[in-house]
Structure 1
Amino acid sequence: MNADDLCAWSRAKAEPQWLLEQRLQALKQAENLELPEVEKMKLERWDIYEHGDYKAENMWPGLQGAHEAVHSLVNFPVEGGLIVQHNSDVVYTELSADLAAQGVILTDLHTAAREHGELVQRYLGQVVKPEEHWLSAVHSAVWSGGVFLYIPDGVEVEVPLQAIFYSSMSGACFAPHILIVAGNNSKISYVDNCISGREDIKVLHNGVLEVFAGAGSKVQVASVHQLAAPTTDFTQRRAVVLADGAVEWIIGEMNNGYTAADTKTLLQGNGSTSDAKVIAVGSGSQKLSYTTQAQHFGRSSVSQMITRAVMREEATAIINGITKIEKGATNCDGQQTERILMLSPKARGDANPILLIDEDDVTAGHAASVGQVNAEQIYYLMSRGISRNEAEYLVIFGFLAPVISEIPLEGVRSRLQDLVERKLGRSHEFKS
């Protein structure tokens, strides 16, 4: 998309002038930026350059006629809120009257920029900046659809709000931007699924999720990606947490194609906390890179990161955990664990725990392991009359269960269990 096309498209969307100027600046910045550096991955060899064309979609009057892939993810009746993006456009939005009356906002990001411009402008692109690299700049220029979720000070939302990003057309622009702003002493759980309608869909998903957690707030973000093998997924998730605030990440990486994801929390406030749990299952010849980061600025801030990945066949995974404690962030605690379980002699895994400590009065630690299924555990289960295949599966499930069990929405949790089943090559019911 060139500058003239971008101007025409933005005006057709009735976007405010400040947003158009932001897009044009990002487009210009992209001309001089390189691809991001992804450790031990040659990103330039991936299908990373073609963002596709904007694909307009009509609003859905309801969910009755939605594709089964979408329909199966929705809990009926919708108790809190739901937003659905189909290819390049948001096509369905629902928010309970009770939450709307409390000042909660759930809408697509285009509408939010028009109706809540000052609020959106204050936060949009402030933690994932376009100047970071070429993919960030292009995303900032061409994002479409997306989500704006705002929770006012003191409002506690007890039911999860859900978003579904549904790709059904090869070559369509699929670059949603999610912006979550949680006020002081608020509480929210946000759950999203990113899915392909068919297994032959080829697009680039260049997605961004920004979270701003106010003082004393509690924000839970659960995200499950299941995109088709021809689709390349590049996702950046970032959170800024103020004093005594908390962000919890629960990430299920179930794509069938090449994937690079970076989930980072900036612990700005004293007493802020971050808890990140990531699971991934790789199969075929997938190339996968998962980076989880916590950067401590506030005193007495706490971070916990757990990543567990299972690699089948010839899949390759690079797992990075980075804990950075800045000077002055005294009495902090940063812990991380990366574990990779390989089910095939041809599978590859690399776990890289990194601690960067610029302060003396802190506690920090890491653990990492890469290995095969534990033979002693298999032998023990088989001695109790369990078949080898079932014993291996139980060990794998036990390896992943600590993260799966944390998914806050029962339907999404069941969906993730089904996806693990499928990627592990099992057809019968998932056992708990």
Structure 2
Amino acid sequence: MSTQTVLPIDRGTVQALSERNREPQWMKELRLKGLELAETLELPFVEKTRLDRWNLSTYGAYQPGAAVQSVSELPEEAKNLFGESFSNSLLIQRNSSVAYCHLSEAATSQGVLFTDLETAVREHSDLVQPYFMKAVAQDEHRVAALHSAVWNGGVFLYVPKNVSVELPVQALFLAEGTEGACAPHVLIVAEENSSVTYVENVISAGDAGERVVNGVVEVFAKAGAKVRAASIHNLGHGLTDLSYRRAIVEKDASVEWIIGELNNGNAVSDTTTLLKGDGSTSDTKVICVGTGEQRLSLTTRAVHFGKMSESDMITRAVMRDGATAIINGITKIEKGATGANGQQTEKVLMLSPTARGDANPILLIDEDDVKAGHAASVGQVNPEQIYYLMSRGISKEMAQRLIIYGFLAPVVSEIPIAKIEDQLQRLVERKLEQ
């Protein structure tokens, strides 16, 4: 039964946000509807996780970030991502608004659109409205409804039919200070037979206080399109990360997710692919490192509607100290999805007797002529492997690290940009050394 609840925002705040952004009437109405829904909707159900015990009441206030023109103007945590200069195609959001946006000339000449979502709502409303909050519906649960009401900044990436974007498009979402709201919405539309790689980093700088970062990524891959989306999250201790990613994949299209969950605070991550079209495919790879007293819930999901559709999901989690992780892998094959093939693997490596990891593989099959399989394991570092490496002159500490890196390698090695792969490796090392 739904019950009325006290929300972290009010109607006046939502109206002021919409008016500040000079949004069309449809977006203003959508925001207000989201707020109304949030008053009665329940929190999302998360396996073995009591979200009602988490601090989800602090979203912060709309706080524009200062514009930047060079790497030197960013906090140290962000500088490390770029080296000496920005990439050709990059968007930077600081707290509630976009501070920098540039698209390469090559992509611009092909008709690609890459801008903040606030601008896209005003200038490309006809392209945004058919897709916004259509993959992640605003009435799914309270978190989705609140996001639809308070989202800010964000990304709109549109790739026309038959266009291939050669260089990756990147985004940085930066939470600074202790009061600025950060709720980015990413909307990617890849038209027929197009291809694009999108890479995002979600980080915090300095003392970011205690806030909720409520982000959504929606991907629409039309027939024959190929979308690769990499997302690396590294938020500070006081930040609670709620991330919902959803892709709708049409005939012969493919979506590849590469996810690095390296936050220091509590986090819920849900990455779902809806394989709508015949011959559609998806590949999801997730790594997670939990430390301290973190509470983590990671769900990967593939839902097969199309005939001969294929999905593969791999999750690797390393837990130490008193951290807890719930790892859910869900493969759903709907009636009529003949010839579908869904595979999944979840593995958790625990480095402490007080760490906990639950791997829950789930197969839901409503069709006979299909293939589906799962594998799951939870355990500690094998002492025989440690002994073998030490017998070759390697220290115990280094032997343990080598085993951990080998455990995570199936995901880390798939990062589409060498610099991002190196960054992910550094973040893993930093978390394991804390």
- The normalised TM-score by structure 1 is 0.97
Alignment of 1:29-428 (within 5 A): 29-74=37-82, 78-425=86-433
Residues 80 and 245 (structure 1 numbering): CA distance in 2 closer, same or farther, change over 3 Å? farther
Letter in 1 for 2:274: L
What is the CA deviation profile of residues 370-409 of structure 1, one whole-angstrom value per residue up to 9, with x for unaligned ones? 0000122112111111111111111111000110111111
Distance 2:204 2:270 in 1: 21
- More divergent stretch after superposition (69-78 vs 237-246): 69-78
Distance of aligned partners of 1:380 and 1:199 in 2 relative to their CA distance in 1, 3 Å threshold: farther
In structure 1, the residue corresponding to 2:433 is in which secondary structure? coil
Give, in whole Å, the separation in 2 of the partners of 1:61 and 1:425. 34
Shift of 1:68: 2.1
CA distance in 1, matches of 2:207, 2:406: 29
Specify every segment of 5 or more residues in structure 1 that has no aligned partner in the other structure, as ranges.
427-432
Match for residue 430 of structure 1? none
What displacement does 1:76 show? 5.4
Give the aligned partner of residue 4 of structure 2: none
Q: Structure 1 segments of 4 or more deviating over 3 A?
A: 61-64, 75-80
Quick one: distance in 1 between partners of 2:243 and 2:360? 20
Structure 2 gap ranges (5+):
1-8
Specify the alignment match of 1:26 in structure 2: 34
| Conserved? CA contact 2:70–2:85, under 8 Å | no
Residue type of the partner of 2:318?
V
- 1:199–1:8 CA distance, 2 compared to 1 (3 A): closer
For the residues of structure 1 that align with 2:425 and 2:233, how far apart are their CA atoms? Answer: 13
Q: Which residue of structure 2 lines up, in the alignment, with residue 429 of structure 1?
A: none
Give the letter for the 1:40 counterpart. K
Residue type of the alignment partner of 1:235: S
Secondary structure in 1 matching 2:82: coil
Matched residues in 2 for 1:272 and 1:180: separation?
17
Cα deviations across residues 64-93 of structure 1 (Å, max 9, x unaligned)?
A: 312222222126554541000000111100
Seq. identity, %: 56
1:10: how far off?
Answer: 1.0
RMSD between superposed Cα atoms in Å: 1.2
Distance across 2 between alignment mates of 1:385 and 1:77? 41
2:141 is aligned with what amino acid? H
Amino acid at match of 1:56: P
Deviations 1:159-189 (A, max 9, x none): 1110000001213211000000011111100
Asked whether the 8 Å contact 1:79–1:159 carries over to 2, the reply is no
